[in-house]
Structure 1
Amino acid sequence: MAPIAAAVTRVLITGFGPFQGVPNNPSFAIASRLPTTLPNNIELIVYPSAVPVAYHPVVDLLPGLYNSTQPDLSLHIGVAEGRTYFAVEQTSQRNVYSWATDVQGQVFKDSEGELIWGDQSVKLSTDLDLQATVSDWQNRTLGIVWPIISSDSSLQSQTIATPVSVILKESVLEEVPLQRPTEHELADDPVRWSDAVGTYLCGFIYYAGMVQKSRTETVSKRKDVAFMHVPMLKTDEELDFGRDVTIELVQALVKSWKSQRAMGA
């Protein structure tokens, strides 16, 4: 008897387009460099266009995108200009998007959020196990070579096996101290856990994605969604590096997701 083929795990991935100060958004450049399949029967469903950095187009896009692709889990990607590391974010929230206009000059009023998401908690956290994911992600990226980042950072070409010792220029997204999941110090880890998704389109798509994923899960209502912030990568070498780091994150996410399913979590 022929062996039964393992089920394919479908992962939806999006990246953002340009916004003020970022004419070439590395999040979509990385997403567009990803392959369509990965080892361990992983299928990547990369949205073929850069998502506009605008509230209402995101709200309009996600329901149809999630319903048509039916992903097992999803990864939305955005850029954090001031960071020199990659991070997966734990939580996001609504009612914080009325202070900053998007690329279309619009805001997203609290009343709009209440109308669309009034049945949801104000603050949402992914149901993916990010602690297990990040631990695996760090191990998987030990041999990946960091290029020389083209920003003003002092990051030099080296492998991740040697922690990058740089003074991190924290972005506005991290003005609030992080609530770390363990006592393990992550300050020098170039791929890490974070809880500072911010109050602009990165946080907005993360919250909207978690809501939409739970609504497509008619039984479990699980929010199997992740958001990754990437540094301001610019050159082809840097973007290829970002692609490789992202591939290892997807592998780690899927491994953790499968483990949760096996345990009935």
Structure 2
Amino acid sequence: MYAPTFNVFVTGFGPFPSGDGGQFSKNASHEVTKLLPSKLSARSSSNPGNADINIINPTSGEGAYVKTEYKFIREYCEKLHMENDDAIDLFLHVGMAYGWDFVSVERCAYKEVMTSSWAKNWKTRTGYYTTPDDSGKTVKDLGPCPWDDLPIGLSPCLDIDATIDGARLALQTKHAFGKQKETVPIVIKQHEEAGTYCCGFIYYESMAQRIKKGKKPNVLFCHVPGETDQLTLERARDAIVAVIASAANQLMQNGW
């Protein structure tokens, strides 16, 4: 008897400005996607569920990453959800957060008109996504916002806390019985929002495209640490695999 199949689409970002005149020429999110397996077999150490999980990972190729440009991201998300209307069961976007030593699962993202006192440089901001992207543009250069009829904040159709609990358990089990280089797995925890730059932008755009089509926003966003040494990348990869398996099994338990 064949196991059912669950399809997960993963993306990672490319280079982006460091904010001090420099450039992050290597984005850890792209490097992590390069290490992801193409399949998580059912009832395995990485996937305790009853369905095989296919990981569709087209941005992992050299130079195939999602560009950190607002225009590119908006067009990419529109095409992504047009071409994969019902073929994909979960969309997972991955970005990097320099200075973090954990993997986050983000609770929500905000529309470009959002302002908040917790955003960096909030006193001079006129909204989110106004930090220049890799092409020197901001969301203001894209013209009118296409999401006037949608809420300022969007969240996915998954229970973030349950996703994290399942991922932590899977990661701890794997480390307890596996041959990991580190005895303690990387920390996975929730984070309140995906941010005011391209990470938050792709999360909102991706969920908005789903809602626009009358679909559930089966979308997640994770941040991985910014370091690109092999050990950090492998630990982040293991965490992303655990999040994928946990989220997939949650969606299947809820009727898929």
TM bracket, shorter-chain basis: 0.7 to 0.9
SS in 2 for 1:117: coil
Q: Distance in 1 between matches of 2:142 and 2:135?
A: 19
2:81 to 39, 51, 66: 66
The answer to whether the Cα contact below 8 Å between 1:94 and 1:113 also exists between their aligned partners in 2 is: no
Q: Distance in 2 between matches of 1:89 and 1:109?
A: 24
The two structures have a TM-score, normalised by structure 2, of 0.78
2:164 to 116, 134, 137: 134
Q: Distance in 2 between matches of 1:13 and 1:59?
A: 16
SS in 2 for 1:205: helix
How much is the aligned-residue C-alpha RMSD, in angstroms? 2.1
Tell me the amino acid that sits aligned with residue 91 of structure 1.
Answer: C
SS in 2 for 1:86: strand
Tell me the amino acid that sits aligned with residue 54 of structure 2.
Answer: E
The answer to whether the Cα contact below 8 Å between 2:69 and 2:134 also exists between their aligned partners in 1 is: yes
Q: Which moved more, 1:96-105 or 1:138-147?
A: 138-147
In structure 2, the gaps of 5 or more residues are 19-23, 43-51, 113-126
1:43 to 23, 47, 54: 54
SS in 1 for 2:238: helix
CA pair 103-59 structure 1, distance change in 2 beyond 3 A: same
The answer to whether the Cα contact below 8 Å between 2:71 and 2:142 also exists between their aligned partners in 1 is: no
Deviation at 1:118, TM superposition (A): 1.7
In structure 1, the gaps of 5 or more residues are 148-156, 165-189
Q: Is residue 2:198 matched to residue 1:201?
A: yes
CA pair 159-215 structure 1, distance change in 2 beyond 3 A: same
Moved over 4 A (4+): none
| Counterparts of residues 169-248 of structure 1 (less than 5 Å) | 190-216=187-213, 218=214, 221-248=215-242
In the other structure, the counterpart of 2:103 is 86
Number of aligned pairs? 218
CA pair 260-15 structure 1, distance change in 2 beyond 3 A: same
Q: Distance in 1 between matches of 2:205 and 2:133?
A: 16
Identity level (%): 28
SS in 2 for 1:141: helix
Q: Which moved more, 1:207-216 or 1:127-136?
A: 207-216
CA pair 98-232 structure 1, distance change in 2 beyond 3 A: closer
